[in-house]
A and B are shown apart, each in its own frame.
Chain A
Amino acid sequence: MPEPILECQGITFEVRLPQPRTILDQISFSARPGEIIGICGPNGVGKSTFLRVLAGLVKPTAGEVRIQGKSLHHFKPRQLARQLSFLPQDTMVPFDFKAREIVLMGRHPYASSLAAWTDEDLAVAQDCMVQAECEAEAEQFVTTLSGGERQRVMIARLLAQDTPIVLLDEMTASQDIRHASKLLRLARQLADAGKLVILVLHDLRAAARICSRVCLMHEGRIVADGDPQDVLHEGHIAFVYGVRARTFTNPLGQWDFDLEENQSESS
């Protein structure tokens, strides 16, 4: 088994306003190259905040994040950008940039800040747009694209960054079923190629099918962490989501679940 590439110990994040509240509570976590980890849980349990702490975007109140044993804060911005890439839920671009120009920005960590993009940058960008299925929109303005198309451009941008750690916040939220499954397979391929992929996911079926590991979060903690089928069992789902679910293997041999009709009683 390879050494952990991303670790954190005792991550706590508290906010004082409007009321004192603990968003993340003593989270310890470590992940290895080649893993694809789904972070699941109901709204407001701190999934996105946790992902942002791992990305170095939110400074935790306590605890630290390390990449290859080195504290996140000891990385220079560009150095970090060659280790870790991050996809927010949505990206609004105010001006008429072409999709290709946005994807090329993913090459920034490798580019000299004055020189024009190299042929290699252009080739990588083209390849990434093909992978993220947005090459048809390459010459269009991102401002005119639909939410799903725009997100695929941002995914191509993230692929162009080509980092060993990939953090995705709700990658498939605005995608139709064809693109959603295509992008999930793409995430899986990144992990198979030896990258560490961590995704915040609401779709438990997708999590069970593509993830090598699932972390279930509840009130700022990871309450279950491990093999998807073990983590996503009925008891955990009832505890974390407060709903009664019945899990089963569907005719295609995949993990699946149904919510029970009568949910009147509160758990």
Chain B
Amino acid sequence: MSSKLSPRQSLKNWKLGHLAVAGLFALLATTILSVALGTVYVPPLTILKSMAQALGLVMTQPADQTSQILIVLIRLPRVFAAIFAGAGLAIAGTAMQGLFRNPLAEPGILGVSAGASLGALIAIAFGTYTFLALPAFAFAGALAAVLIILGLSTFSGSSGQTTVLILAGMAVAAFFSALTSLLLVLASEYQVSSYIFWTLGGLANRRWEHVQLMAVPVLLAGALLFLRGRDLDILLLGDETARTLGVAARKTRILTVLLASLLTAIIVSVTGPIGFVGLIVPHIMRLIVGPSHRRLLLASAFGGAIFLLLCDLATRLVAMPRGIELSVGVTTALVGAPYFMILLIRSLRTHG
């Protein structure tokens, strides 16, 4: 053990409140950056003013009506969609990794993505892809997948056992994917390309309605998981030890799986499947703030929001001037995958 503290190790000793404040400031800075940059530059002061105005804090009308519209109706909804989607996926990923005792678990482990994809395709195939019908269908599909898996695990008398959940998840995902393939064969070319575009996962053209759909579930699930943070830590010692320490292991397990899956289902249904956020952010945050769940959930929420914001910003800056509509899911994977490989190699080197 080296005696000098690297910044990483010292962050592990930060108090929860300090982490929250630091996260909030980092998020605010990233938010302002994201709103400022784009095809039209908006000065940060104008952004702060119109945000304050939108929140009802300032009564005066802004001088520049155009940038007010640009900020409030176009950039801010997209930015907030990124914040809540990123935070939610990272929270769900943290919960799943803890529950499955595996840093490779991801929020969609219970077939959420496969279910949502089928739902989305059904919506597209029936031509009902208006702006809320598609999320509704995707959510229904995801919910169906989760409920079938949880039902299977309860029916087999092993409710909440991780191996049963993983196997049932694989089976249900395979079945839903097969149905999706079947529908794709029957679909028209336009429907197929709409579907493929949806599966790339994106934040383009997201409105305040979309933000509203995600905000309450993200905050609620985040708070409920945070309250169970210590129980989740103790569950990592194994069910037997956890139970003799007074943790209702089975109840905690089922509640966590349900919360994380529903949260993921809601986000995926709004944004399409955005990969790597829920896998990589909790992993990185664990290295920075340690594995204790309360700190980790808090750090992951901010980390996920900031990561997705920056990925979306990069997507917009690279693609928009060239007239390409690039999905943020492509960026998260392009950035996330190499970084993940570096992490993997580094952790193998240090741990032998």
Contact = CB atoms under 8 A, between A and B. Distances in A.
A114 B293 CA distance: 12
A15 interface: no
Interface in A101-139: 101-102, 105-106, 108-109, 111, 113-114, 116, 139
Contacts, number: 83
B246 A108 contact: yes
Contacts of B237: 91, 93, 102, 105, 154, 157
A95 to B, nearest CB: 4
B245 A94 contact: no
Given A96-B286, A113-B227, A77 B247 contact: yes
Contact of B234 (A57, A108, A140, A143): A108
Contacts of B1: 139-140
Interface string B145-188: 00000000000000000000000000000000000000000000
Contact of A91 (B230, B233, B238): B238
A81 B241 contact: no
Contact of B240 (A57, A81, A94): A57
B244 A81 contact: yes
A29 B37 CA distance: 74
Nearest to B234: A105
B48 interface: no
Interface in B217-272: 227-228, 230-231, 233-234, 236-238, 240-241, 243-248
A95 B291 contact: yes
A109 B246 contact: yes
Interface size class of B (residues with CB under 8 A): 20 to 34
A151 interface: no
Contact of B290 (A96, A140, A157): A96
B346 interface: no
A80 B249 CA distance: 14
B99 to A, nearest CB: 11
B244 A95 contact: no
A88 B241 contact: yes
B246 A80 contact: yes
B65 interface: no
Give 3 closest A-B pairs by Cβ, nearest first.
A81-B246, A95-B291, A78-B246
Given A94-B102, A94-B236, A101-B292, 12 more contacts: A57-B240, A78-B246, A81-B244, A82-B246, A86-B240, A97-B290, A98-B290, A108-B246, A114-B227, A116-B16, A139-B1, A157-B237
Interface of B: 1, 16, 98, 101-103, 227-228, 230-231, 233-234, 236-238, 240-241, 243-248, 286, 290-292, 351
